[in-house]
Amino acid sequence: MKIWNKSLVAFTLLFAISVATTLGQNGHGYDLASLDKNTPACTDFYQYANGGWLSANPIPGAYSAWGVANVLNEKTRDQLREILEAAAKNTNAPKGSSEQKVGDYYASCMDEAKIEAEGLKPLESELARIAKIDNQKALQDEIGHLHAFGINVVFGSGATQDFKNSAEVTESVSQGGLGLPDRDYYLAADKAKVRDEYVKHVAKMLELMGDDPAKAAANAQTILAVETKFAEASLTRVELRDPEKLYHRMTMVQMKDVAPGFDWPNYFQNVGLKQKTDVNVATPNFFTGMGQWLTTTPLSDWQTYLRWHLINASAAALSSKFVDEDFNFKGKVLQGRKENLPRWKRCVSGTDGALGEALGEVYVKTAFPPAAKARALEMVRNLEAALKSDISTLSWMSEPTRKQATVKLDAFLNKIGYPDKWRDYSSLQVDRSSFVGNRIRVNAYENRRDLDKIGQPVDRMEWGMSPPTLNAYYNPQINEIVFPAGILQPPFFDAAADDAFNYGGIGAVIGHEMTHGFDDQGRQFDATGNLANWWTDDDLKSFKERAQCVIDQFSSFEVEKGLNMNGKLVVGESIADLGGLVVAYAAFQKSQVGKPRVVIDGFTPEQRFFLGYARGWATNMRPELARLIAATDPHPLNKFRVNGPLSNMTQFAEAFQCKASDAMVRVQKDRCQIW
C-alpha cells in the first residue's frame, strides 16, 4: 500500500527489487542451479528454491538488496539508457517534442561539469526568499511557495478523489514535514542511533551550505526538535491503514477552524488552486498541533527548518559534495549501501521519474509487443474467473456479501502494459541550462496537473506508474488493477515458458493485485470506488477473525534477534499474497484440464508452479534495509512472502509431499485461510 494522490489508498506489489535469470528447459523456466539441495523443500521452501542463487549472487556495493528483480531492473535500465543517449545526441529534435524533452532532461543530468561549477547557485533565489521571512504571512507564503514545486514542508497536500464520492476530485491535506522515514524514528528508543546519525548528517549538510560547525550543530538540533513535534502529532503507519480515520471532509469556510492562524485561502492561492473546493483533512490532530507550532516556534527556527528541507530535497541534483553527503545518510546509514550508483543509472531513473510516459512511449515499442499484451490480458481474465469461482463457494461468506463481492470483481478495470492515451507534456519546459531548474519545473508541472483535476471528471484511464516500472498496483477508488510493461517480461512473465511457471510467477502477481480489492483496506471500498460497508455484520466478523490469523502469523516472524515483523502493518499485503497464490493456483489447475501432465527437470507441474512463485522473491538484503522495511513498509520481507503463505496451503504440502510434522506445514488450527 502507499498513499496515492496525497491521501488515497493504493496497493503495490513492491519487490525488494531483486531478478535472477531462471532458465530451465529450452532456456525458459526454472534454473536448477538456483536450488539449495541441502535444504528440504518442506523445511524452508524459500531457501530450497533460492539458496543456490542467493549464494552465487552477493549484493553489489551500490545496492542495499540484490535479487531476482534487480537483474530485470538492470536490463530495463540499459534499454532506457540507449533511448535516452540517442535522444540526448539528437540536438535537432523538434522543440517541444517528447524526444527533445527526455533528451534535454537526461543531458542536463549528465552534465556533471556544469553541475559542479554551479554548486549551490541554482538554489540561491529560494534560499534568499527563506532568509527574508520576518513575519507569519511571509512564513506561510513560503510554505505554499515550496509546496507549489513539490517540496512538502510541514504537511502534504494535493488533489484526491473523495473517499465517499469517487466521481469527485477535491483537495486534501495530511501530516508530513519529516526528514526521517517515519514518526517512530523520532520517538522509538531503538531508533536513537539513527537519530544521532541524522543530526550529524543535517549538521554536515548545513556546513556544506556555509554554516560554521558550531552553528550547524545547533541548527541540526533545532531541526530535530521541530520535526519531533510533527512526529508526536502524527498517526502511526498502522493507523494510516484505516481509510475511515483519514476522511474528514470540510468546506473552505470550515477550514478556518483547522490550524487557527493559518491562512488557508492564501495558501491555496499560493499553491495554484484555481477554484473553491471542499477539503479532506486526513489527519486533523496534526493540524491542531500545527496551529500552535506556527506561533510558538521562533521564525528563526522556521527559517532553519525550511532551509534544511530545501537542501534535503535538492541535494541529489547538486554538486558532488552534496550528493555524497546525501548518500552517506540515505544510502549508507538507512540502507547499508557501500557506494552510490553510477551517474548514468541515477539519471536514467530520474528521467523515468520525471517524464515517465514520454520515455515509456518509446520503450514499449521495442520491449512490449502487442502479442505480449494480449497474452497478459488473457491471464488476467483467467484469474478473474478463478476468483469469481472461489467467491461463489466460500463457506464463511453469506449470499448478500457474496453478491456485492462479485459485482465489485466484475467492475475491475484492467490496465495492461501502457496507457491508451499518453500524457501531454506540452506545457512543460525542459532545456539543458540547469538540471535543478528542470527538476523544479517538472515538480511545478506535476503540481499544476494535479490541482487541475479538481472540478473535472475523474480520468479513469490515468496511470500511476510509468510503463517501464517493475511493479503493479490496485487502486480501490478506480477499482482497477494495473500491470506496467516492466513486470510483464521474464522471469515473471515468459510467453515461451510453460503454464506452471507463468501462473506461479505473473499469475500470482495478478492474483495479488485482484485480492487487494478484498483485503483489510480494499474491502472497505465498493465497486464504484466509494468508501462504504457492503459486508453483513457476521461476514465482516468472520473476515476480521481470518485477518487476525494473518496478523498473528506475521508478527511471529523474526527479522533479527529482538525485531519481528509488524503483523498489523503487513496484513494487507500478506492477505494479498495468500489470496493471490490460491487464486493463481486454481486458475493454473483449470488451464491444465485436458493437457498431459509433463515432468520437467524432475518437477511436476504443481511443483513448478510453486518454484515459479518463490524464485521471484530471491533476494539478498543488507540488515539496514531489512530494519527499514520492518519499520516502515507494509510489505513483509521476501522470505516471509514465500514461506508465510505457502505454509498455509494444503496445495503446496501435497505438491511436495510434506508431512504434517514439517516446518512448512501448519497445524490445522493455526492455518490461515481467507480465499
pLDDT tens digits for range 118-140:
999 999 999 999 999 999 999 99
Catalytic entry in 513, 519, 526, 633: 513
Same domain, 242 and 373: no
pTM above 0.75, yes or no: yes
pLDDT for the residue numbered 663: 98
Report the alpha-carbon distance of residue 42 to residue 35 in Å, rounded: 13
- pLDDT, one tens digit per residue, over 138-174 is 999 999 999 999 999 999 999 999 999 999 999 999 9
Same domain, 513 and 662: yes
Mean pLDDT of 396-411: 97
CATH number, domain containing residue 610? 3.40.390.10
* 362, 407 contact by CB (below 8 A): no
Q: Which residue has the higher pLDDT, 361 or 495?
A: 361
Of 298, 317, 336, the residue that ends a domain is 317
Mean pLDDT of 622-639: 98
Domain total of the chain: 2
Same domain, 495 and 574: yes
pLDDT for the residue numbered 492: 86
Q: Is the pLDDT of residue 367 over 80?
A: yes
Mean pLDDT of 631-652: 98
325 located within any domain = no
**Residue 613's pLDDT band (cuts 50, 70, 90):** very high
112 located within any domain = no
Catalytic entry in 357, 577, 606, 633: 577
Cell triple for 215: 552553528
Same domain, 258 and 371: no
Q: Which residue has the higher pLDDT, 25 or 247?
A: 247
**Residue 285's pLDDT band (cuts 50, 70, 90):** very high
Of 300, 317, 334, the residue that ends a domain is 317
- pLDDT, one tens digit per residue, over 40-63 is 999 999 999 999 999 999 999 999
Mean pLDDT of 516-535: 97
Is residue 621 helix, strand or coil? strand
Q: Which residue has the higher pLDDT, 631 or 8?
A: 631
* 493, 367 contact by CB (below 8 A): no
Q: Is the pLDDT of residue 265 over 60?
A: yes
Q: Is the pLDDT of residue 79 over 50?
A: yes
Q: Where is average pLDDT lowest: 210-214, 252-256, 543-547, 643-647? A: 252-256
Same domain, 204 and 306: yes
Q: Using the structure block, give the residue that is written with the C-alpha cell 547538486.
A: 318
pLDDT for the residue numbered 12: 58
Q: How many CB atoms lie within 10 A of CB 378?
A: 10
Same domain, 362 and 313: no
pLDDT for the residue numbered 633: 97
Mean pLDDT of 178-205: 98
426 located within any domain = no
Is 513 catalytic? The answer is yes
Q: Which residues form the domain of 386?
A: 2-79+355-419+461-670
Side-chain-facing half-sphere of 566: CA atoms under 13 Å: 17
Q: Is the pLDDT of residue 15 over 90?
A: no
86 located within any domain = no
Same domain, 313 and 188: yes
**Residue 29's pLDDT band (cuts 50, 70, 90):** low
% of the chain exceeding 70 in pLDDT = 96
pLDDT for the residue numbered 366: 84
What share of residues in the chain are helix, strand, coil (percent, to 5)? 55, 10, 35
**Residue 333's pLDDT band (cuts 50, 70, 90):** very high
% of the chain exceeding 90 in pLDDT = 89
Same domain, 165 and 268: yes
Edge-first strand order for the sheet with 480-484 is: 2-4, 8-12, 473-475, 480-484, 413-417
**Residue 361's pLDDT band (cuts 50, 70, 90):** very high
* 398, 405 contact by CB (below 8 A): no
Report the alpha-carbon distance of residue 248 to residue 270 in Å, rounded: 23
pLDDT for the residue numbered 494: 84
pLDDT for the residue numbered 8: 37
Report the alpha-carbon distance of residue 93 to residue 493 in Å, rounded: 35
Q: Is the pLDDT of residue 222 over 60?
A: yes
Q: Is the pLDDT of residue 27 over 70?
A: no
Same domain, 366 and 472: yes
pLDDT for the residue numbered 26: 44
- pLDDT, one tens digit per residue, over 455-498 is 999 999 999 999 999 999 999 999 999 999 999 988 788 877 88
What one-letter code names the amino acid at 226? V
219 located within any domain = yes
88 located within any domain = no
Same domain, 296 and 374: no
Same domain, 616 and 662: yes
Q: What is the mean pLDDT of the chain?
A: 94
pLDDT for the residue numbered 498: 86
548 located within any domain = yes
Mean pLDDT of 284-309: 97
152 located within any domain = yes
Name the pairing type of β-strands 480-484 and 558-560.
unpaired
**Burial call 426-435: b when 16+ CB within 10 Å, e when fewer:** eebebebebb
- Burial (CB < 10 A; 0-12, 13-18, 19+), residue 375, is middle
Same domain, 193 and 49: no
- Helix H, strand E, coil C: the string for 22-67 is CCCHHHCCCCHHHCCCCCCCCCCHHHHHHHHHHHHCCCCCCCCEEE
Of 265, 297, 317, the residue that ends a domain is 317
CATH number, domain containing residue 174? 1.10.1380.10
